[in-house]
Amino acid sequence: MELSQLVVQTCLDGVVLLRVSNPPVNAISTGVRRALLDAVEQADTDSAIRAIVITGAGKSFMAGADIRELGLPAQPPSLPDLCNRIENCAKPVIAAMHGVALGGGLEIALSCHYRLAAEEVKLGLPEVLLGLMPGAGGTQRLPRLIGVESALALMLSGRHVLAKEALLLGIIDRHVLLGDAAAAGVQYAHELLNAGAGVRRSRDAEGLKDHAAAQAFLDEARNVLAKKSRHLFSPHKIVEAVQSALGMAFSEGLTQERAAFLSCLQSPQCEAFTHAFLAERAVSKAPETPGAPPLPVMAVGIVGGGLMGAGIAVSAIDAGLCVRMVEQDDKAAARGLANVEKVFAGQVSKGRITQAGMDSALKRFSVSTDYQSLKDVDLAIEAVFEDMNVKKMVFERLNLTCKPEAVLATNTSYLDIDEIARTVSRPERVIGLHFFSPANIMPLLEIVVAGKTDAQTVSTAFEFAKKLRKVPVRAGVCDGFIGNRVLAVYRAAADHMMEDGASPYQIDRALRDFGFAMGPYQVADLAGGDIGWATRKRRAANRDPNARYVQIPDRLCERGWFGQKTGRGYYLYPQGSRTGEEDPQVLAIIDEERRRVGIEPKRFTDGEIVRRYLAAMINEGANVVFDGIALRPLDVDVTFLHGYGFPRFRGGPMKYADTIGLGKVLADINEFSVADPLFWKPSALLVDLVGRRAGFATLNNALS
C-alpha cells in the first residue's frame, strides 16, 4: 500500500489530522511507521501547522505492533524512534483514541503530549500476553505518568481499561462522551492553542517522585512474580525495565527497555504465545462458513439438566439467549432448575452479578418434562447420560418435536455421532457440541462435524460458539474426538509410569513444573474417578488383550475413592478441602499392584516423566491430524490450551514438539517402543515429517 494511504492527512485552520489506516485494526506495520514518521516530521517543520492530531481510521486507534511482522528482521524506523520523534515535536501533538489503543498503539499515544479517548475505548499494554513487554517507551513513560503501582498492574496483567478508568488513572486527559474522537481531538487542539498550552512530555511527568514507595511496589511485584509467574520470562523483564525507569535517566531507561524487549522477542515463549494468538483466530473460521450463512439462534433447547446441561444452560443464558430445558421427570426437572440457580447464586455471592441480574437472567430460562416446549427452538443440545440407547431415544423425540430447520446437537464425550444422526430424518442438521466442565467457565467447544452434517449447520454452530464466547475447534467423529482421544493415550502413559515406579505425586509435580496447572492425578480427582471407571468398563470387552492395562485406578474406584467429591482419590481431601494431601495408603495399593503383576519398581527422573508424557500426547496428536479428525496441528494446540490446561507459554503440544524438534520426539518414541511396541507406535505423520525434515507448522498454513 502507498504510504499516503496508510496515513491520511487533512489540515484545517493550522491543525493537521493524521489518520492511520491499516485495516482491520490499524496494526503498526513497517509501512505505518514510515508513513507516520514522514507525516509527523513534515507537520513539525511546516510553519503553517500549529498542532498535530493523531487518530485511527475505521473501528480503532491502533492495535499495536503488527504481530505478523514480529518474527521478521526489523525494518526502520523502529517504533521507539517513531515515539521519540513524536514526543520531540515542537508543537502540541494530541492522540485522539477510539476502539482499541493497545501495545505500541498506546505507546504512540503516550508519546503524544495530550490524550483524549472515546468512552468505549479499550486501552492497554497487552504485550505480556504475547510473551513480550512494551518495547517503545511504555515501561518508561507510563510509570512516570501514572506511578509504578498502576503501571505495573496494567503491564503485568495486559488488561484493558475503558476511558473512565484511564481518566482516573491519568493515562488520558479527556474523555469524549459523545461523538467522534477525531473531531474532539481537533477541537481539543484548538482549545490548547487558544490557551497557549505548549508541549508536555510524558518523560517529564513526575509519577516516580516518591522513590521509596515506587521501590516498595517493585519489590512486592518481584515477590509475587517469583511465586505466581516462575515459568514466565517477560513479566520479570517488565519489572526490570520499570526498575530502570526508577533508577536511570529516561534515555538510559529506553536503552535498557529495548535490550530487554529484544530478549523477549527472541525467546521461545514469545513464539509460543504468538502461535497461540494466531491459532485461536485460525480455529474460529470453519472451512464450511464461506457461502453458508449461519441460521439465527435465539432460543436454545437443552435435554438433560445434570452437570453439563446446567452449565451449558448458564452459558447460553449469559449470552442473552432463551433457554428451555427438558428433563425426564418432575424430580429431575426440579434438580435441573436448582443446578442452574446454584451457578447463578454462586456468581451473585462472588459479586460477579447482582441479584437483579440473576433474576432477569432466569426470566430467559424454563424447565419442563414436555418435549413440546422445544418445538420452536433454533438449536437443541442433548446432555443426557452417556448411553447410546438413551441418546437415540432423545434424538427420536427431538426429531418429532423440533422444527425441521433446527440444529440438533449432542454433547456426547465419546459416542458415535454418525450413529446418533441415523435416528433422525434430517441427519444433515446433526452435529456434536462438546462442552467442557464447568461448561459456563471452560472456554473450549469442540464442534464435531459428522458424516452428513451440512455446511449451514457447521456455520450455525461456529456462530453459536462465538455468541457464547467459546473457543471453537472443528473436530471429526472418532472415540473421544480430539481432546479425549489424546487424553486417553497420555493418561495411559502416566499410568504405565505409575505402575513402573513413579508415584502419582511425583508425576503430578513433574508436570506442574513443566507448566501444567495440574497434574493428571489431580485432574482425575477433580473430574471424579467414577466417570473414567464407567468408560473403562464399557470398553473392557473390546480391549486388545495384549495391550498393557494398569489396574491401579480400578483398585481406587472399587473402594469408592472417586476423588474430591468422596473426600479421597489419589489424594486425601480432609474436611472437604480442595488441596489434596499425599496418601500413604494409595502408595501401598500401588506397591501391591506392582507385586501382583511382578514389576520391580524403578526410579524416574522428572525429566523422564515429562518426556514420556509429552511424547504420548504429541504422537496421538499427530494421529488425530493424520486421520483428519483435527484440521491442522494448530487445532490440537488450541484444544489443549483451552480444554486441558496445557501451558500457554509453550504454545500447545504440537508447537512444543516443533520447538524441541520432531526428530527428538520420534527418537524418544522409538526408544520407549523397545519395551512396549504395542503402545509406542510412531505416528505415520510424525515419521513422514521427520523424513522430510519438516515441522507440524508446515501443515498449519493450509487453511489459516
437 binds, among ligand NAI, ligand 3HC, none (CB under 5 to 8 A by kind): ligand NAI
Find the shortest distance in angstroms from Cβ 176 to ligand NAI: 46
- The distance of closest approach from Cβ of residue 314 to ligand 3HC in the complex, given in angstroms and rounded to an integer, is 23
Q: Which does 290 bind (CB under 5 to 8 A by kind): ligand NAI, ligand 3HC, none?
A: none
Between β-strands 93-97 and 114-118, what pairing exists: parallel, antiparallel or unpaired? parallel
Residue 62's DSSP bridge partners are 101
| Residue 340 vs 394, nearer CB to ligand NAI | 394
Which residues does 325 contact at the CB level (< 8 Å), separation at least 6?
A: 301, 302, 303, 304, 305, 309, 313, 333, 336, 337, 340, 365, 366, 367, 368
Query: Smallest distance from the beta carbon of 427 to ligand NAI, in angstroms?
Result: 19
Answer for which of 215, 328, 659, 704 binds ligand NAI (CB under 6 A) is 328
Spatial contact of 190 and 15, defined as CB atoms under 8 Å apart: yes
**CB 315, min distance to ligand NAI, A:** 13
Extract the runs of DSSP E, i.e. beta strands, from 535-685: 571-572, 581-582
Partner that binds at residue 326, options ligand NAI, ligand 3HC, none, CB closer than 5 to 8 Å by kind: ligand NAI
Is 127 catalytic? The answer is yes
Query: Residue 483 or residue 653: which is nearer to ligand NAI going by CB?
Result: 483
326 contacts ligand NAI (rule: CB under 6 A)? yes
Q: Is 18 near ligand NAI (CB under 6 A)? A: no
The yes or no reply on residue 271 touching ligand NAI (CB under 6 A) is no
In whole angstroms, the minimum distance from the beta carbon of 202 to ligand 3HC comes to 15
Please tell me the distance from the alpha carbon of residue 702 to that of residue 704, in angstroms, as a whole number.
6
168 Cβ contact list (under 8 Å, min separation 6): none
- Spatial contact of 124 and 161, defined as CB atoms under 8 Å apart: yes
CA distance 561 to 564: 9
Sign (positive/negative) of CA torsion 133, 138, 141, 142?
Answer: negative
Instruction: Tell me the DSSP string of 24-75.
Output: TTT-B-HHHHHHHHHHHHHHHH-TT--EEEEEESTT-SB--B-GGGTTSPP-
Which of ligand 3HC, ligand NAI, none has residue 65 at its interface (CB below 5 to 8 Å by kind)? ligand 3HC
CA 338, 339, 342, 343 dihedral sign is negative
Which one of the listed residues 2, 69, 127, 463 is annotated catalytic? 127
Residue 679 C-beta: closest distance to ligand 3HC, Å: 39
Torsion sign (Cα): 242, 245, 250, 255: negative
Residue whose C-alpha is closest to residue 551's, from 511, 593, 518: 593
Residue with smaller CB distance to ligand NAI, 29 or 437: 437
Whats the size of the chain, residue-wise? 704
Among the listed residues 455, 343, 438, the one whose alpha carbon sits nearest the alpha carbon of residue 383: 438
383 binds, among ligand NAI, ligand 3HC, none (CB under 5 to 8 A by kind): ligand NAI
* Site for ligand NAI contains 309 (CB under 6 A): yes
| Helices 662-673 and 684-691, axial angle in degrees (round to 10) | 130
Residue 63 near which of ligand NAI, ligand 3HC, none (CB within 5-8 Å, type-dependent): ligand 3HC
Closest separation between CB of residue 520 and ligand NAI, Å?
15
Residue nearest to ligand 3HC (CB): 103
CB under 5 to 8 A by kind: which of ligand 3HC, ligand NAI, none does 620 bind? none
Q: Which does 27 bind (CB under 5 to 8 A by kind): ligand 3HC, ligand NAI, none?
A: ligand 3HC
**Pairwise CA distance, residues 277 & 651, whole Å:** 9
> Binding marks (x or -) toward ligand NAI, 397..426, rule CB under 6 A?
--------------xxx-------------
Residue 427's binding partner among ligand 3HC, ligand NAI, none (Cβ under 5 to 8 angstroms by kind) is none
Residues 277-306 touching ligand NAI, rule: CB under 6 A, are 303-306
User: Is the Cβ of residue 257 or residue 620 nearer to ligand 3HC in the bound state?
Assistant: 257
Q: 3-state DSSP call for residue 114?
A: strand
CA-atom Rg of the chain in angstroms: 28
Q: Which residue is nearest to ligand NAI (CB)?
A: 306
Q: Of the two residues 66 and 318, which places its CB atom closer to ligand 3HC in the complex? A: 66
Interacting residues with ligand 3HC (CB under 6 A): 24-25, 27, 63-68, 79, 100, 102-104, 107, 126-127, 130, 132, 134-136, 138, 281
Q: Identify residues 372-391 at the interface with ligand NAI (CB under 6 A).
A: 383-386, 390
396 is catalytic: no
Q: Give φ, ψ of 343 to 5 degrees.
A: -65, -45
Judged by beta carbon distances under 5 to 8 A according to partner kind, the member of ligand NAI, ligand 3HC, none in contact with residue 64 is: ligand 3HC
Whole-angstrom Cα distance, residue 186 to residue 179?
12
Closest approach, Cβ 438 to ligand NAI, in A, equals: 8
Which positions ≥6 away from 429 have C-beta within 8 Å?
405, 406, 407, 408, 453, 454, 457
- Choosing from 69, 87, 107, 396, which is the catalytic residue? 107
Closer to ligand NAI by Cβ: residue 308 or 511:
308
- Other beta carbons within 10 angstroms of residue 446's beta carbon come to 28
Q: Which is nearer to ligand NAI, 173 or 386 (CB)?
A: 386
Taking the C-alpha atoms of residue 71 and residue 13, their distance in angstroms, rounded to an integer, is: 42
Helix axes 584-597, 483-500, angle to 10 degrees: 80
In this complex, which beta carbon is closest to ligand NAI, that of residue 386 or of residue 428?
Answer: 386
Q: What is the dihedral of CA 265, 267, 268, 269, to 10 degrees?
A: -80
- By annotation, the residues acting in catalysis are 107, 127
Binding residues for ligand NAI, rule: CB under 6 A, are 303-309, 326-328, 332, 383-386, 390, 394, 411-413, 435-437, 527
